[in-house]
Structure 1
């Protein structure tokens, strides 16, 4: 297990004008944890991974692993001396080698008997016993990804880096393989950093998520904390479906199209953006309506069926909202319904760095 510290990392690519890929990035990864670096395409997350791996030299800042400087002023440890495994996009297996040969790629320093035993151990760990003689094109995409992970773990690295590891898999297989890879990393006790643009992937797999935007890490924390307490409306919307509507803060409440709502944390008085999640918007029945009325009236504009649940588009006092409700007992399009908010809400700025 390993402890990674990234401090003040900056990378600028030459051009007209120059492109700042990383801007004073700080990140700490605890021993044995899985950290997901999440952000849109072009935000710098793959560049960050390449710097940690030693494939890209930073212009400024330092990278430290278990107290050893990998990158600093005048210091750059080459990739092969870092003790870091890399699982690239789509696995990138060697097509001319069989599965065993791919796993053995980083074990050339071992004698034959030890190497064979390690290959068998790894294939058993990733559930591919008996497939060592097959070529990459003879196994499925999910199996290829497990071979790539086994190859990265083979030399017992201090840390494993995963670069969009499931992007080439279809949706159903992606969920299955990421659950399996998470299990394998935790069983091996391996510290891992994964970059992805898939919010569900990051929230499901990681102990901590680092959200990147325009070369900077905007917020880091446990998945549930980031989902409930985003830094701003951009982070909140990037982490999942969201409702963001105008409101006015007055003491412990904020008032907008959904009526007066309780604030989760104090906010300055005045105009703001009310932020909540679609699952907080509940359809109220007669039994939920207290004397004098509760909730607000909404018109159902559309119902988008998603299996066990549906996305329901509503209009409340001219404001468009999206709720997420169980599929059983959905209101028809055009109906007027009464809705209320479960739990407290946030008052957030639109975007801040």
Structure 2
């Protein structure tokens, strides 16, 4: 087993920066987090590889500054796999790529059936990667050497994979398409905070009554506060199902709450005062949450024939045409055009409903230029046809 030391002090990082500067070509970059274990999505290990420099494993919690590293990394392209997952953690540290190549996204555009890193490395290079530690707690210190080898291999072959995918993209005439998609990943804004995030509580739909929802809100917020303070995943403290079971049981006292057998988890008993206080706040609340909050979510397509028959006809006319075009291009339909975007323009089409109007509507929803070029005219034609030729009974049943 190869030995991979971890860079855990600023002086050693400075040496690594010099070595990376002396290398050549793109940087392969990967991040390991502790999702499911920690509250934060911070990076607990950063892996970097560059030809002529080698592999470097960084311990972010132990390092204090990254400006010199950023200065070097800003000189060339970064190669990542599923970049949208790793970029937020890297940006927290002030690490920002000038441009990227996403091997997962490229593989999707090329029509590869399996797009996980291990599958792509095996398909392109014939090398098998073990994925034994993909769900490990990367906040563990010290990190076992076996984990470090696994992490190093995640970047060691990434540049070679990139070179093969670059050739495949050129062969299929998708180089510019991929460039637009990569830039869209870089430009994608952060998601705004959710309104009433406590409504994400799994099983909340089984509870009834605004007072009950007020209790759910207080319990969820109490758990969040504790999770943030301890940097622990909320579900590891008290699972959602346990909170919902406690709310449904409607205990009359702290003792009754402690007796609920489903109310279990790491902090169910040790933080009993916290949970009971949340119950009391919810029961005493004077401002109760509404049963439902306004949403711009569209109804499921199966309900369209009753709710919006014209939109139903438009969607049924356009969807198979978009799917057929995606098949011709050799890529998943969702990469040609996100189904939600097609549903949006079908539900409430622009005026005029021609290729230009459809294209403007798609751009406003976030579609890229190449997607508009490929789909706007066919969608416009399908919408016209939906008025003239209603779908067959078989299509209505789909």
- Of structures 1 and 2, the one scoring higher in RCO (CA 8 A, sep 6+) is 1
Q: Flag the structure with higher helix content.
A: 2
Largest Rg, 1 or 2: 2
Q: Flag the structure with higher strand content.
A: 1
TM band (smaller chain): under 0.3
TM-score of the superposition, structure 2-length normalised? 0.21
